[in-house]
Chains A and B, each alone.
Chain A
Amino acid sequence: MPQWIPACATDDVDPEDVIPFEHAGESYAVYRSPDDVYYATAGHCSHERELLCDGLVMGGVIECPKHNGRFDYTSGKAMGAPVLVDLRTYPTKVEGGTVYIELA
Chain B
Amino acid sequence: MTAPGMVVVGAGECGVRAAFALRENGWTGPVTLVGAEPLLPYERPPLSKAGLVSDSAGPVTIRDAGAYRDADIELVSGVEAAGLDTGAHHVELADGRRLGYERLLLATGARARPLPFDGTPVHLLRTHADAVALRRRLVPGTRVGVIGGGFIGLELAASAAARGCPVTVVELGPRPLGRAVPARIAAVLAARHVAAGIDLRCGTAVGRLAPTGTGITVGLADGDAVEVDVVVAGVGSVPETALAERAGLAVENGIRADARLATSAPDVFAAGDCCSFPHPLYDDRRVRLESWRAAQEQGAAAARSMLGGPEPYAAVPWFWSDQHDLSLQVTGLTDAAVGEAVRLRPDGVELWFGLGAQGRLLAAAGVGPGNAVAKDVRLAEMLIARRAVPDPAALADPAVPLKSLLRSPVSA
Decide yes or no whether B320 CB sits under 8 A from chain A.
Answer: yes
A63 touches B378 (CB 8 A): yes
Distance between Cα atoms of A34 and B370 in the complex (Å): 27
Q: Which residues of A contact B296 (CB under 8 A)?
A: 81-82
Known contacts A68-B293, A82-B296; A54/B375 CB under 8 A: yes
Known contacts A66-B320, A82-B296; A56/B379 CB under 8 A: yes
Contact with B along A12-49 (1 / 0, CB 8 A): 00001000000000000000000000000000000010
Interface pairs (30), CB distance under 8 Å: A48-B60, A51-B370, A51-B371, A54-B370, A54-B371, A54-B374, A54-B375, A55-B371, A55-B374, A55-B378, A56-B374, A56-B375, A56-B379, A63-B378, A65-B371, A65-B375, A65-B378, A66-B320, A66-B327, A66-B371, A66-B374, A67-B292, A67-B293, A68-B318, A68-B378, A80-B24, A81-B17, A81-B20, A81-B296, A81-B300
Shortest beta-carbon distance from B337 to chain A in Å = 23
Q: Which residues of B contact A81 (CB under 8 A)?
A: 17, 20-21, 296, 300
Decide yes or no whether B372 CB sits under 8 A from chain A.
Answer: yes
Shortest beta-carbon distance from A46 to chain B in Å = 14
User: What range describes how many residues of B lie at the interface?
Assistant: 20 to 34
B378 touches A54 (CB 8 A): no
Q: Which residues of B contact A82 (CB under 8 A)?
A: 296
Q: Which residues of A contact B21 (CB under 8 A)?
A: 81
B17 touches A65 (CB 8 A): no
Q: Which residues of B contact A54 (CB under 8 A)?
A: 370-372, 374-375
Decide yes or no whether A72 CB sits under 8 A from chain B.
Answer: no
Q: Tell which of A51, A55, A80 touches B375, judged by Cβ atoms closer than 8 Å.
A: A55
Q: Which residues of B contact A102 (CB under 8 A)?
A: none
Distance between Cα atoms of A58 and B382 in the complex (Å): 11
Q: Tell which of A16, A50, A58, A80 touches B371, judged by Cβ atoms closer than 8 Å.
A: A50
Q: Residues on B close to A: CB < 8 A?
A: 17, 20-21, 24, 60, 292-293, 296, 300, 318, 320, 327, 370-372, 374-375, 378-379, 403
Q: Residues on A close to B: CB < 8 A?
A: 16, 48, 50-51, 54-56, 58, 63, 65-68, 80-82
A65 touches B374 (CB 8 A): yes
Shortest beta-carbon distance from B226 to chain A in Å = 34
Shortest beta-carbon distance from A37 to chain B in Å = 19
Q: Which residues of A contact B371 (CB under 8 A)?
A: 50-51, 54-55, 65-66
Distance between Cα atoms of A79 and B296 in the complex (Å): 15
Q: Which residues of A contact B60 (CB under 8 A)?
A: 48
Distance between Cα atoms of A48 and B46 in the complex (Å): 11
Q: Which residues of A contact B20 (CB under 8 A)?
A: 81
Q: Which residues of B contact A66 (CB under 8 A)?
A: 320, 327, 371, 374
Q: Which residues of A contact B374 (CB under 8 A)?
A: 54-56, 65-66
20 extra interchain contacts, Cβ-Cβ under 8 A, other than A55-B378, A66-B371, A82-B296?
A: A50-B371, A51-B371, A54-B370, A54-B371, A54-B375, A55-B375, A56-B374, A56-B379, A58-B403, A65-B371, A65-B375, A65-B378, A66-B374, A67-B292, A67-B293, A68-B318, A80-B24, A81-B20, A81-B21, A81-B300
Distance between Cα atoms of A84 and B293 in the complex (Å): 16
Q: Which 9 A-B pairs have the closest CB atoms?
A: A65-B374, A54-B371, A65-B371, A56-B378, A56-B375, A54-B374, A55-B374, A81-B17, A66-B371
Shortest beta-carbon distance from A45 to chain B in Å = 11
Distance between Cα atoms of A58 and B375 in the complex (Å): 11
Shortest beta-carbon distance from A81 to chain B in Å = 6
Distance between Cα atoms of A102 and B397 in the complex (Å): 39
Q: Which residues of A contact B378 (CB under 8 A)?
A: 55-56, 63, 65, 68
Distance between Cα atoms of A67 and B60 in the complex (Å): 14
Distance between Cα atoms of A63 and B374 in the complex (Å): 10
Q: Which residues of B contact A55 (CB under 8 A)?
A: 371, 374-375, 378
Distance between Cα atoms of A68 and B17 in the complex (Å): 15
Q: Which residues of A contact B375 (CB under 8 A)?
A: 54-56, 65
Shortest beta-carbon distance from B106 to chain A in Å = 20
Shortest beta-carbon distance from B372 to chain A in Å = 7
Best-buried of A54, A68, A81 by chain B (most CB within 10 Å): A81
